[in-house]
Amino acid sequence: MILPFMRKILSVGLILLGCLTQTHAGMMPKDELDKLFEDQYLVGEIQADLPVYPLFVKDAASPDSKPELKAYVFETNEVVSVRGYSGKPINILVVIDLSGRFLSARLLDHKEPIFLDSYGTSKLTEFAAQYKGLTVRHSTEINKASDTPSRNEQSAYLRGVHRGTISAKAINRTIMSAAAKVALAKLKINVADHFDEKRAENESNNQNLNSDAKPVVAPVQTETKLADSSKPNTAAAPEEKIPVPDVTVKNLLASDASEKTSGKNTGKETEVKNSDQSEVAENTVAKDLGNDSLPAPQNISEKNEAINYLSEDQEARREWINLWQLRWLDIAILLGGLFILSLGLIAQKRFSANSARFRIVRSAYLLFTLGFIGWYAQGQLTIVNITAGLESLTSGGDLSFLMNDPMTVILWVFVGVTLLVWGRGSFCGWLCPFGALQELISLLANAIGIRQKRLRSALDAKLKWVKYGILVTLLASLYLAPRFAEQAVEIEPFKTAISFYFQRDWPYVLWAVACLMLGVVVYRGYCRYICPLGAALASVNFLQRWSWIPRREACGTPCQSCRHRCEYQAIAPTGKIDYSECFQCLDCVSIYQDDQRCLPLIQHRKAVGRVIPVASTLLPATLN
């Protein structure tokens, strides 16, 4: 009685804790920016209209000259809220010059689950660094990690991140959307105008540039009517170094806001010839130095801002629709697999009537789950999906960030429906790649004569609580100790075994192998005692109302055949099924129909001296 009650408490707690978690705000205070840029720029005051800092340079040869506005620096988290695979924003420190060119893009913080270690973070950092030299007007596409990046004056093909398409796309949208917003507000460059025309033009250009590129479409940036369309595009070639000012400016206090500095210390840096931009620059200098008599630097209308936001949303939608189209074959195979599984589970008795044939079919399906869903299509559901979804919903976002991962969306929809019908077993028993890996290893172990140990019922019941403890700790730490939570999710070995094919730092590999070895000793030991995702699914298993496993009066008293054969120890001595621990392996359904293993059928067979028909409806009433 206590266990179902605790599971309900847990499911409520899961929602409440999700409500408490918050996303991160900006990370770089002004003094840190001062330190970071002290050799290149003087950092001005944060702008009132948008949380960006102006960057000035000063001619070292004439210390009394006024500083010249050269760029803006901002944290993307402060400007836009594009969610990554974790459901949380990826924070990047971006510097753009007055022509809308990226001088740098440095990853500050992220929560992308499979890139949390230093190696993974370095991959995302490398990806973000590729924006240096591009402009807000560039259309960007993300190639494979193995492809050579290329760029021209309008388009850039960036080197993707292995196993990180969704994270790379999130970084792309984060940088380009944030920069577009800053460009609109501070530089009078509106990237929303002529959006569709430019897209069509770029797509046609892109085909010429790189016909092998995987067409993952990123935001297309176009210039506004306000900007000078005759101004040459300042995109740098890949190998081109973006010049940085060579003069250190230490003191702005003595400068004169009404004059312009020569700017010779910027080397080859692009000169701002556009009169609007010059005006913006000049006004901003004055404002930042405390001269409020001058007008605000930009008169960008609210309407234009609205257009920009709309484009961002449209772009996100376009992006995931594009991705779903690209992966149509994967999606079709997955849907086909789910359809076959659904048919099998609906017709469970027929499906499992012949136990030898059923074992072969089940093993084949587990191979499909591991090989296709897991290793190939990367459709491993994880506890991170749950925490990220809750976090997004409770911080005012939605679940649209998940749409970039069609496998995950389809699987979660299927799991949601089957949870109500059959319980967590449909996923854990059939569709979890790591679960399938454990089971296949157990089968191999059995084939060479290694049998899993069956724990005493009391010990098994106690150990099953461990996973709930892990789940509660993990969820609580999301709120109480987020840094710990980032590491704690590594208790799931999915990332190591499925996402990275065991190619990670040795402690992670060791842990994944240990979990698999546990399954050799105790059947699906990780699933039954450790897995927080399994615990989360089991904790909402009370929603499942249908007792779909056929039972007889003799189940439990006197027959214990199913119970002793249930490898998951999910059948009570009374014969009652614990659906939250049932993995829907259908072994007991098979036994139920087997007059060699089901005691009432054996007795009946012996009594009548003939084979009992398989269909339960044909059985004598006493056996039903």
Burial class of residue 53, CB neighbours in 10 A (0-12, 13-18, 19+): buried
**Residue 55 or 428 having the CB closest to ligand SF4:** 428
**Residue 56 or 583 having the CB closest to ligand SF4:** 583
Q: CB of residue 534 vs ligand SF4: minimum separation in angstroms?
A: 3
Q: Which residue stretch of 27-35, 64-72, 216-224, 586-594 sits at the interface with ligand SF4 (rule: CB under 6 A)?
A: 586-594
Q: Which residue stretch of 87-95, 191-199, 363-371, 526-534 sits at the interface with ligand SF4 (rule: CB under 6 A)?
A: 526-534
The crossing angle, in degrees rounded to 10, of helices 406-421 and 328-346 is: 10
33 binds ligand SF4 (CB under 6 A): no
3-state secondary structure of 122: helix
HSE of 102, CA atoms in CB hemisphere, 13 A: 29
533 binds ligand SF4 (CB under 6 A): yes
Q: Which residue stretch of 267-275, 297-305, 402-410, 430-438 sits at the interface with ligand SF4 (rule: CB under 6 A)?
A: 430-438
518 binds ligand SF4 (CB under 6 A): no
Q: Nearest CA to 382 among 412, 350, 362, 353?
A: 412
470 binds ligand SF4 (CB under 6 A): no
Tokens found for residue 540: 């909402």
Residue 448 phi/psi, 5-degree rounding, is -100, 15
Round to whole Å and give the CA distance between 137 and 122. Answer: 27
- In the block, which residue shows the tokens 């992220």? 110
Round to whole Å and give the CA distance between 482 and 21. Answer: 9
Residues near ligand SF4 (CB under 6 A), total = 22
Round to whole Å and give the CA distance between 429 and 387. Answer: 22
593 binds ligand SF4 (CB under 6 A): no
Judged by CB under 6 A, which of 167, 274, 584, 593 binds ligand SF4?
584
Q: CB of residue 532 vs ligand SF4: minimum separation in angstroms?
A: 8
Q: Which residue stretch of 194-202, 286-294, 330-338, 428-436 sits at the interface with ligand SF4 (rule: CB under 6 A)?
A: 428-436
Side chain identity at 548, as an amino acid letter?
W
Q: CB of residue 15 vs ligand SF4: minimum separation in angstroms?
A: 20
Judged by CB under 6 A, which of 107, 286, 323, 588 binds ligand SF4?
588
522 binds ligand SF4 (CB under 6 A): no
Burial class of residue 190, CB neighbours in 10 A (0-12, 13-18, 19+): buried
577 binds ligand SF4 (CB under 6 A): yes
587 binds ligand SF4 (CB under 6 A): yes
Q: CB of residue 385 vs ligand SF4: minimum separation in angstroms?
A: 11
Judged by CB under 6 A, which of 227, 478, 586, 598 binds ligand SF4?
586
Judged by CB under 6 A, which of 127, 320, 414, 434 binds ligand SF4?
434
Residues of this chain, 549-568, that bind ligand SF4 according to CB under 6 A: 549, 566, 568
Q: Nearest CA to 54 among 298, 289, 297, 284?
A: 284
Q: CB of residue 592 vs ligand SF4: minimum separation in angstroms?
A: 9
Judged by CB under 6 A, which of 84, 263, 435, 575 binds ligand SF4?
435
Judged by CB under 6 A, which of 531, 554, 598, 612 binds ligand SF4?
531
Judged by CB under 6 A, which of 57, 411, 571, 612 binds ligand SF4?
571
**Residue 67 or 600 having the CB closest to ligand SF4:** 600
**Residue 76 or 496 having the CB closest to ligand SF4:** 496
* Cis bond before residue 558 (omega within 30° of 0): yes
Judged by CB under 6 A, which of 585, 598, 601, 612 binds ligand SF4?
585
Query: What's the first-to-final CA gap in the chain, in angstroms?
Result: 27
CB 539 within 8 A of CB 468: yes
Q: CB of residue 430 vs ligand SF4: minimum separation in angstroms?
A: 9
CB 177 within 8 A of CB 219: yes
Tokens found for residue 256: 């004169």
Q: CB of residue 424 vs ligand SF4: minimum separation in angstroms?
A: 7
Side chain identity at 549, as an amino acid letter?
I
- In the block, which residue shows the tokens 């809220």? 81
**Residue 320 or 579 having the CB closest to ligand SF4:** 579
**What residue ranges in 77-221 does DSSP mark as E strands?**
91-97, 102-109, 139-142, 150-151, 155-158
Q: CB of residue 364 vs ligand SF4: minimum separation in angstroms?
A: 18
- 592-610 in b/e form (b: 16+ CB < 10 A) is bbbbebbbbbbebeeeeee
CB 122 within 8 A of CB 211: no
534 binds ligand SF4 (CB under 6 A): yes
Q: CB of residue 619 vs ligand SF4: minimum separation in angstroms?
A: 19
583 binds ligand SF4 (CB under 6 A): yes
Torsion-angle region of residue 194: left (phi > 0), alpha (psi -120 to 50) or beta? left
Torsion-angle region of residue 607: left (phi > 0), alpha (psi -120 to 50) or beta? alpha
488 binds ligand SF4 (CB under 6 A): no
Q: Which residue stretch of 298-306, 320-328, 395-403, 529-537 sits at the interface with ligand SF4 (rule: CB under 6 A)?
A: 529-537
CB 228 within 8 A of CB 37: no
Binding residues for ligand SF4 (CB under 6 A): 428, 432, 434-435, 526-527, 531, 533-534, 549, 566, 568, 570-571, 577, 582-588
